[in-house]
Amino acid sequence: MNYFTGTIRTFFRSCGTLIGEFRGSHGFGLSAELAFWFFYSIFPFLIFLFSLAGFLPPFSDRARILQLLQTTLPPPAYELIGNTVVNILVKPKGLMAFGTLLLALWSASNAVHSMMGTLNRIYGIKETRPYWKVKLVALTLTVTLCSVLTLTFLLLVIGPLITEKIMEALRWGKFVGTTIATVRFIVSIVGMYVALLLIYRFGPDIPRNTAYNLPGTGLAVFGGLLTSQLFGIYLKKIAPYNKFYGALGTVIAFMTWLYLIGVFILLGGQLNSLLFRKSPEFRARLTECRPYDNTT
């Protein structure tokens, strides 16, 4: 009993330390900056994806696509994105998709660049890499992240459509369909985990072992998924966001969701930083870096 009580006490003390460090790094304010860049880049990226997808045969059933999106996204995200998706699928944009891809990459790279600066602050160091190298790393991580998001989109939205047609043609049972759906979900989660792991590994200007980034990456992925589910339930059952604000409530709720995602991404980086600073490797590595003054 004493062991259990001590474990609980240690857990809450560690959580308090993590939140305190996060506040000291201005993590909550910087999460709002990330939310802005997420919001700014998500629509060009969606236009690119659905412009290309509009030429695929499985996308002839627009009602089914919207149904899959509705089950994948939180309510505010679906309401804000749904009409845009329908317009794109009705009139595919063709070559315009590549222009929107460039805009999405530019805005998303700004989000990653901002994330890299925030991770430096969290680790207590200043950026010493040349500007061109920082932008190149940010662009590389952005392309990786966009590729993972595209894969996730293919697995979670296009995947069910293709699976349904294959199962109908081959007359497979329900068990096979459930197994395929589970594999799709697991692969999507692993893809997001790897993408965030790369950001935590190469984002901050401090060399370290990849193993120190594993716990924080798990926190970010699990926290993001849990937040999306709980936030969706909260908006549906407890506080309908459009009851008082109307259409504006959709935007507010969507931005809040993006903000919470940003909080967990940076909180994962903070956890990695705390674990790394307790390691023997930290002092040796810190001599190679320039300390950051959090008071400025």
- In-domain check, residue 49: yes
The pLDDT value recorded for residue 10 is 74
- In-domain check, residue 144: yes
Per-residue model confidence as pLDDT tens for the chain (296 residues) = 565 676 677 777 878 888 888 888 888 888 888 888 888 877 777 777 776 665 555 555 566 667 767 776 766 667 777 666 666 665 655 556 666 777 777 888 888 888 888 888 888 888 888 888 888 998 888 888 878 877 777 776 666 666 766 766 666 667 776 777 788 788 888 888 988 998 898 888 877 677 888 999 999 999 888 887 777 776 666 556 556 666 677 777 778 888 999 899 999 999 998 888 777 666 555 555 555 555 44
The single-letter DSSP state of residue 127 is: -
Q: Say whether 290 sits in a helix, a strand or coil.
A: strand
Residue among 139, 95, 86 at smallest CA distance from 116: 139
- In-domain check, residue 19: no
Q: Are 50 and 295 in contact (CB under 8 A)?
A: no
- CA dist 222 to 119, 148, 194, Å? 19, 17, 13
Q: Are 116 and 201 in contact (CB under 8 A)?
A: no
The single-letter DSSP state of residue 291 is: E
- In-domain check, residue 72: yes
The pLDDT value recorded for residue 296 is 46
C-alpha distance across the termini of the chain, in Å = 46
In which domain, by residue range, is 74 found?
Answer: 27-291
How many CB atoms are closer than 10 A to CB 46? 18
pTM of the model: 0.79
- In-domain check, residue 22: no
- In-domain check, residue 233: yes
The pLDDT value recorded for residue 239 is 58
Helices (H), 203-246: 214-233, 242-245
CA atoms within 13 A on the CB side of 160: 17
- In-domain check, residue 232: yes
- In-domain check, residue 6: no
CA atoms within 13 A on the CB side of 193: 14
CA atoms within 13 A on the CB side of 186: 6
Domain count for the chain, please give it: 1
